A and B are shown apart, each in its own frame.
Chain A
């Protein structure tokens, strides 16, 4: 409703420059749909695994009070398996956003290649 109202009251004057893509006033360089970093994809994959884990945890948490220790031990095993996965991803440096890749990482540059954590 508000969108229709706005169509009626707002001015509409076209202009080639006005309707061009914003790039800080520079002329537009190439398409916007370019390649982007693979890290986003890796994060999405890892998220998928852990989100399924959280979804499985929900029904377990609801009935946890009634079942007690048995449920706890079972879920502990399940969580341990997934924690191993987390540790593996962590060790593979897939969770690090800034990756120091220096081919000459010897001598005084070795300090730079260390994990920032």
Chain B
């Protein structure tokens, strides 16, 4: 690896990291503003123009709040848990490509932090590590509500991870590769996977909402039953870390969905690679707007569906999504085997 590549990688890491942070800030505001509009009220609009600085103000406020560590906690694990949750949440976006490769001075720069050849498995593995953070946070707090929240979240995440994995298998079968570039290039050459496997896309979408603990699947922090779920005993900046990792997970999940089923940076009817630098700009814009749509969908769904009951959640995961995922694999396999 020469100096240029090293420099390019460092710049990409910084850009992606900053972009995720900024998106979290915007998402934190958008969540409340869009919620406000959906409920026929304004939402926060006082801090900065249109309330744009509201989330920044909130972050500063979190910094100045006292960090209460209850006497009853298991201290090392209690301190470790937010870190375990946050680091994988920020690491997962690294393998998601956000544009066509850029040509600078004879070098090709992939618009993706790390193009590893098992990109999909990398994301699945890291999201599984995130589960440890939630469970350990719930257990170490030495309080009943977090314990129940942590247990619920672990059972929920592992249940929906199966459906998610099965939905992804269908995509791998048609594209024949585990890297995102292979999957996107294949979709660009033929058509988006959404048109080919709407069933898998649906299963993945539902599992995605459950994996990120968002409504209607936020059973882990159902505030009417469990106060705050696994982070009841966390305060101040450690709470902010859970909050940020939840949003980071939402962003990564949206990017994942876009790459798998909606062509990633592919803009329909346009060949980005033939357009040179403008093609790169177009492809990044296409990716950002697609991810933006899914982020909006998260908020939209939040105010559209009521929360599931826990037994309904388990029934949906095991008795509906899991068989549907198997049916999808069977259908795709049969179709491909007969056509070949």
Give residues 131-188 of B contacting A (CB, 8 Å).
139, 141-148, 151, 154-155, 158-159, 161-162, 165-166, 169-170, 172-173, 176-178
Cβ of B66 within 8 Å of any chain A Cβ, yes or no, is: yes
CA distance A79 to B169 in the complex (A): 13
Which residue in chain A gives the minimum CB-CB distance to B333?
Answer: A72
In the complex, the answer to whether A97 meets B232 with C-beta atoms within 8 Å is: no
CA distance A54 to B160 in the complex (A): 12
Out of A10, A43, A72, name the residue touching B67 (CB < 8 Å): A10
A3 to chain B: closest CB distance in Å? 6
Say whether, besides A32-B72, A97-B311, A2 and B63 are in contact (CB < 8 Å): yes
In the complex, the answer to whether B340 meets A57 with C-beta atoms within 8 Å is: no
In the complex, the answer to whether B237 meets A2 with C-beta atoms within 8 Å is: yes
Out of A5, A32, A51, name the residue touching B161 (CB < 8 Å): A51
Give residues 226-265 of B contacting A (CB, 8 Å).
227, 232-233, 236-237
> Which chain B residues lie closer than 8 Å to A12 at the CB level?
66-67
Interface string of A14-36 (1 = CB under 8 A from B): 00001111111000100111101
B338 to chain A: closest CB distance in Å? 8
Cβ of A102 within 8 Å of any chain B Cβ, yes or no, is: no
CA distance A117 to B173 in the complex (A): 33
- How many of chain B's residues have a CB under 8 angstroms from any CB in A? 59
Which residue in chain B gives the minimum CB-CB distance to A72?
Answer: B337
Cβ of B107 within 8 Å of any chain A Cβ, yes or no, is: no
Interface string of B38-77 (1 = CB under 8 A from A): 0000000000000000000000000111111111100000
CA distance A24 to B329 in the complex (A): 48
CA distance A20 to B314 in the complex (A): 34
Which of B28-36, B275-283, B286-294, B315-323 faces chain A? B315-323
Say whether, besides A12-B67, A72-B334, A95-B318, A21 and B165 are in contact (CB < 8 Å): no
In the complex, the answer to whether B151 meets A68 with C-beta atoms within 8 Å is: no
Out of B159, B236, B311, name the residue touching A96 (CB < 8 Å): B311
Q: Chain A: interface residue count, which band?
A: 35 or more
> Which chain A residues lie closer than 8 Å to B227 at the CB level?
22, 24
Cβ of A77 within 8 Å of any chain B Cβ, yes or no, is: no
B229 to chain A: closest CB distance in Å? 12
> Which chain B residues lie closer than 8 Å to A20 at the CB level?
70-72
Query: Contact residues of B with A, CB < 8 Å?
Result: 63-72, 120-121, 139, 141-148, 151, 154-155, 158-159, 161-162, 165-166, 169-170, 172-173, 176-178, 227, 232-233, 236-237, 310-311, 314-315, 318-319, 322-323, 326, 329-330, 333-334, 336-338, 340
Write 16 A-B pairs (CB below 8 A) sorted by A numbering: A6-B236, A10-B67, A22-B232, A40-B151, A43-B159, A47-B161, A51-B158, A55-B165, A61-B172, A62-B176, A64-B336, A69-B338, A69-B340, A72-B333, A95-B318, A117-B319
